[in-house]
Amino acid sequence: SNQDQPVLITGGAGFIGANFVLDWFKQPNARPLINLDKLTYAGNFASLAPVQDNPAYHFVHGDILDGELVARLLREHHPSAILHFAAESHVDRSISGPEAFLKTNIDGTFVLLREAHTYFQTLTPEEQVTFRFLHVSTDEVYGTLTPDAPAFHEDTPYAPNSPYAASKAASDHLVRAWHHTYKLPTLVTNCSNNYGPLQFPEKLIPLMITQALTGKPLPVYGDGQQVRDWLYVGDHCSAIRAVLAGGRIGETYNVGGGNQRANLQVVNTLCDLLDELVPHSPYAPHKQLIRFVTDRPGHDRRYAIDARKIESELNWHATESFETGLRKTVAWYLANTAWTENVTSGAYKNWIQQNYSHRTESGE
Ligand code: NAD
């Protein structure tokens, strides 16, 4: 039956994907997982160490742009669903180098859809009823909100502002078209900013934690008043499982934590947490490390998610409060400095040097 068939996940070595894989195998009767990941700078094999020896878990090192590989994996493993997480995901990198974003996020999604459609046609009618293609996307496709505007809902018009957001918007449209044109049973989730363990330290929260722990400046873009709606990664993972299990085919579900916070507020809270959790730090009070740096070009002012559809239809609710989630996250980075060392060695170090250090305005 469908319960024994594996699920193909792409990008399962990234931040959200790895959290998803680890959470998946904590669920009762978890189906086997095939994880296809290219292991870019953002993918970390070590994140998946806890499941490496699980016979129900199978890692495949490869690129979603490789149609032959995707076709072979579908043929050989016969999955009952595809969960598509793989992407280039960092807005700043999309500004300095958009090509990789168009390739992986747009062309890569196209290749997966094309191969999924071919595969879908080989399934029995019974298998076709349960097959799903779930595309993981972002609230950034909706653009930016003024301070008093209502939160993004599923019918908010698309208005992406960064190359990253535009590439994700394009991929969402392709998924929609493959449903309408080819009747592929698709699902789309558009999620707000995630935070939690295993996040690559180029994103706001882990960047601030890892910089602060070594006494380096905490670069805050512009006035720091950009508002994001933060979601603990474990809540995102449970939302994806809920949509996979019960989402209506062809539908989009917005996922958010209902935690709107300005970036500067987030950084201040992190500094307070670090003062408390690292009481003998030579860098305390950590707020002294904050530096305001030139704003990101085209920086969206505010994102907020209206998650009532997934809440009412699928009875999904975020369970982690921002304060407890942030505390857990800081504690995780404090306990896993080797993980951070590992992922920030080499190429990434040069990148962060070029992209953050020279922009600090005040002296260090
Ligand atoms: P991430 O950058 O941490 O991980 C991406 C993963 O995809 C990495 O393991 C990488 O190796 C893999 N990958 C990249 N290109 C690939 C390719 N061509 N072929 C195969 N694998 C490839 O990203 P994340 O933060 O975990 O985000 C996962 C998904 O969730 C993305 O689609 C992203 O757009 C979406 N999303 C993220 C957030 C967030 O706050 N992080 C919010 C909403 C939506």
Residue 135 placed within a domain = yes
Any atom of ligand 1 within 6 Å of the Cβ of 47:
no
Any atom of ligand 1 within 6 Å of the Cβ of 160:
no
What is the pLDDT of the chain when averaged over all its residues? 93
Look at ligand 1, atom 28, and give the residue with the nearest C-alpha: 85
Q: How far is the CA of 272 from the centre of ligand 1 (A)?
A: 30
Any atom of ligand 1 within 6 Å of the Cβ of 307:
no
Residue 12 placed within a domain = yes
- Tens of pLDDT along 211-270? 999 999 999 999 999 999 999 999 999 999 999 999 999 999 999 999 999 999 999 999
Is 139 one of the catalytic residues? yes
Residue 343 placed within a domain = no
- Of the candidates 37, 63, 115, 139, the residue annotated as catalytic is 139
Look at ligand 1, atom 35, and give the residue with the nearest C-alpha: 137
ipTM: 0.99
The total number of structural domains in the chain stands at 1
Q: Which domain holds residue 32?
A: 7-198+231-259+299-320
pTM exceeds 0.80:
yes
- Of the candidates 164, 195, 253, 333, the residue annotated as catalytic is 164
Residue 183 placed within a domain = yes
Taking residue 329's Cβ as centre, other Cβ atoms within 10 Å add up to 23
Any atom of ligand 1 within 6 Å of the Cβ of 11:
yes
Is 164 one of the catalytic residues? yes
Cβ atoms of 142 and 152 closer than 8 Å: yes
Q: How far is CA 191 from CA 234, 270, 307, 327, 350, in A?
A: 13, 23, 9, 21, 30
Residue 240 placed within a domain = yes
CATH code: domain of residue 65: 3.40.50.720
Residue 115 placed within a domain = yes
Q: How far is the CA of 313 from the centre of ligand 1 (A)?
A: 26
**CA Rg value for the chain:** 20
Is 235 one of the catalytic residues? no
Alpha helices in 65-124 (DSSP H): 67-77, 91-96, 99-101, 108-120
Residue 281 placed within a domain = no
Q: How far is the CA of 282 from the centre of ligand 1 (A)?
A: 35
Any atom of ligand 1 within 6 Å of the Cβ of 14:
yes
What CA–CA distance (Å, rounded) separates 256 from 258?
Answer: 6
- Tens of pLDDT along 301-360? 999 999 999 999 999 999 999 999 999 999 999 999 988 888 887 655 565 566 655 444
Any atom of ligand 1 within 6 Å of the Cβ of 196:
no
Q: What is residue 360's predicted lDDT score, i.e. its pLDDT?
A: 41
Residue 94 placed within a domain = yes
